[in-house]
Amino acid sequence: MSLLTTGLTVLLLTAVTFVIVGRLNIPQPWLQPWAIVRACVQLGILSLLLNVIITEPLWVGVFLVVMAGAATGVVAGRLRVGWRRIPAIALTITVAALVPIAIIFSTTAVDFTTRYALALTGIVIGNTMTVTTLMGRNVQHALVTDHDEIEGWLALGATPRRATHHSIRTAAATALIPSTDQARTTGIVTLPGAFVGAVFAGASPLDAAQFQLLVLAAILTAAAIAATLVTAFFGAPTQLPSIRG
């Protein structure tokens, strides 16, 4: 690939995105183009860093901690929660990502190397961030839209967790849809990145498929854990959000 051609193509795609989003009249139409600009800068920095840290376990660990911290910041910003909620979000992302990764390496399905640790954990953290955001937003929305039903349960003597059970269950089902569909449509609708990347790197299609299956299974496990932890931390509020008429 030519760096110049890649840059020009990305610039063209960014311009097309900006025009289309602007025509939609959505708030902050610059967010999508800005996301591409940030991606360019961040991937450039990442490329330089990986040449230095990829064989150093300590620095790979530090980098993964930074990734988890950044994911926590994104989720906290999207959910607009106070600083007291940030530790719960950080714990959700960390636990949800580490459990499936630990299972993969403990079963020796993949060799425990810095390269695999960085690749697998990075992919899972990114997807966990998305699921945690979706789950958090769904819970916030459900507590407002189902306000009267929840209050009715509370009036009958139900605990806060029992009163919100139906709403939270629906929120979790919705939050898990992207991860579930990603696994269901692999190889039919989409060619997943880990599979394509492994093939381009010289792996056989069978080895690439095995690696991709591990990634998909880890993503689904992390998503389920994230939804469970968000439910535990945010699914039984002592006070419902007020409804403004």
Q: Which one, of 85, 164, 181, 193, lies nearest residue 132 by Cα? A: 85
Within the chain, residue ranges assigned H as helices are 3-24, 31-53, 57-79, 86-106, 114-145, 147-155, 160-163, 165-175, 177-184, 193-200, 205-234
Provide mean pLDDT across the span 5-31. Answer: 86
Q: Could you count the other beta carbons within 10 Å of the beta carbon of residue 121?
A: 23
Range of the domain at 1: 1-53
pLDDT single digits (tens) 53-110: 777 888 889 989 999 999 999 999 999 988 889 999 999 999 999 999 999 999 999 8
Task: State the Cα–Cα distance between residues 62 and 9, nearest whole angstrom.
Answer: 33
Q: How far is CA 36 from CA 43, 134, 145, 183, in A?
A: 10, 22, 34, 26
Burial of 180 (C-beta count, 10 Å sphere; 0-12/13-18/19+): middle
Residue 245 placed within a domain: no
Q: What is the DSSP letter of 111?
A: -
- Reported as a single tens digit per residue, the pLDDT across 102-138 is 999 999 998 898 888 998 999 999 999 999 999 999 9
The enclosing domain of 77 has a CATH number of 1.20.1640
pLDDT tier at 245, thresholds 50, 70, 90? very low
Question: Do 42 and 69 fall within a single domain?
Answer: no
239 found inside a domain: no
Q: How far apart are CA 46 and CA 57, in angstroms?
A: 16
Tell me the whole-structure pTM to 2 decimals: 0.82
Say how many domains are in the chain: 2
Same structural domain, 61 and 43? no
Give domain status of residue 32, yes or no. yes
For residue 65, being part of any structural domain is answered with: yes
Q: Is the separation of the CB atoms in 92 and 226 below 8 Å?
A: yes
Q: Which residues contact 232 (CB under 8 A, 6 or more apart)?
A: none
Examine the domain organization and report whether 120 and 230 are in the same domain: yes
Is residue 243 in a domain? Answer: no
